[in-house]
């Protein structure tokens, strides 16, 4: 049996779950998990994630996809199928801060994060030793405001040829609209949730000076609008009156690592459906 995930979104109406379940049953597949959500049972949008075992000896995936496409057309559904035999390739971009990078490398090495990491690109050389210790190619591509266009032209062939998606693990450069268009695949970013209120240098000092009571981190998809992409995961922690600026930075790093790892886990397990500028993230 091939573990398979089907993601669906369509206009809501009665009988969708029954129709999909019956289709899977009639194609000799066994449902393992099923999650669904409707924004409004009357005229809303319907979202579904179905995980099942596909017996490819009896029903080849090409036949399954062809038959399902006809049903999806009836439902007016956008859909995607993902097979457990496929392992996603994740590129990483990083600058000097290595806490998120190290966490992802460890999770991948331990098998907790089921991805391949074909390369890491950085605008600084600081993380080279760490990355190469894990046997992963490291590419140092320096970037300045004057050389960004040239640097991106160096990065794009590396990423397009080797990755299915990309993660900005505290990469402190803003990717251009042209880069996003040419790369054409999903990019996940992590940042501290202070950005809307505390922009510029040293946001943790600004937050400490303001006496904030909660700090957080946000993982989101990258879009042309800076830090405005659909949110995948958010984590928060309490701030106490005794906490120093270093305490806030430590808590922030921990939150960033966990939020980013959770977001990537949801992505590679195909638990995310995009709905305009928001996400449906199934548990």
Q: What's the rounded Cα separation, in Å, for the pair 263 and 256?
A: 11
Q: What residues contact residue 31 under an 8 Å CB cut-off, 6+ apart? A: 21, 24, 25, 50, 51, 52
| pLDDT at 196 (0 to 100) | 52
What b/e string do you get for 58-68 counting C-beta neighbours within 10 Å, with b at 16 or more?
eeeeeebeeeb
Domains along the sequence of the chain with CATH: 2-83 (3.30.70.260), 90-281 (3.40.50.170)
Q: What's the rounded Cα separation, in Å, for the pair 125 and 139?
A: 8
* Cα-trace Rg, the chain: 21
Among residues 227, 237, 243, 247, the one annotated as catalytic is 227
- What are the 10-residue block averages of pLDDT along the chain, 283 residues in total? 97 96 97 96 93 96 98 98 94 98 98 98 98 98 96 98 97 96 98 67 82 92 91 95 94 97 98 95 96
Mean predicted lDDT score pLDDT of the chain:
95
Q: What's the rounded Cα separation, in Å, for the pair 3 and 231?
A: 27
Catalytic (active site) residue 67: no
| pLDDT at 197 (0 to 100) | 65
Two structure tokens written together for 132: 């190469």
| pLDDT at 226 (0 to 100) | 82
pTM attached to this predicted model: 0.94
| pLDDT at 202 (0 to 100) | 78
Q: What's the rounded Cα separation, in Å, for the pair 88 and 273?
A: 17
DSSP letter (8 states) at residue 39: S
| pLDDT at 43 (0 to 100) | 84
pLDDT in tens, 217-230: 999 999 998 888 99
| pLDDT at 199 (0 to 100) | 66
| pLDDT at 219 (0 to 100) | 97
**Distance of CA 184 to CAs 121, 176, 180, 218, 256, Å?**
18, 12, 6, 22, 25
């Amino acid at each position: 049996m091939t573990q398979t995930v089907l993601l669906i979104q369509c206009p809501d109406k009665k009988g969708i779950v029954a129709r999909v379940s019956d289709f899977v049953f009639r194609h000799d597949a066994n449902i393992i998990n099923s999650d669904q959500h409707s924004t409004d049972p009357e005229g809303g949008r319907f979202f579904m994630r179905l995980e099942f075992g596909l017996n490819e000896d009896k029903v080849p995936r090409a036949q399954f996809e062809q038959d399902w496409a006809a049903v999806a057309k009836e439902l007016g559904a956008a859909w995607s199928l993902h097979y457990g035999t496929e392992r996603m390739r994740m590129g990483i971009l990083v600058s000097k801060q290595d806490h998120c990078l190290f966490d992802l490398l460890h999770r991948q090495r331990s098998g907790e994060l089921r991805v391949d990491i074909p390369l890491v690109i950085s605008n600084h050389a600081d993380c080279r030793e760490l990355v190469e210790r894990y046997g992963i190619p490291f590419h140092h591509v320096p970037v300045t405001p004057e050389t960004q266009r040239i640097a991106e032209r160096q990065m794009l062939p590396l990423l397009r040829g080797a990755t299915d998606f990309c993660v900005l693990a505290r990469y402190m450069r803003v990717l251009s609209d042209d880069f996003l268009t040419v790369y054409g695949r999903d990019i996940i970013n992590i940042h501290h949730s202070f950005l809307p209120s505390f922009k510029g240098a040293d946001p943790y000092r600004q937050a400490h000076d303001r006496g904030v009571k909660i700090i957080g981190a946000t993982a989101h998809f990258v879009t042309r609008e800076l830090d405005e992409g659909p949110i995948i995961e958010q984590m928060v922690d309490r701030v106490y009156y005794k906490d120093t600026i270093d305490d806030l930075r430590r808590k922030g790093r921990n939150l960033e690592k966990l939020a980013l790892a959770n977001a990537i886990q949801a992505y590679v397990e195909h638990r995310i459906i995009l709905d305009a500028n928001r996400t449906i993230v199934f548990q």
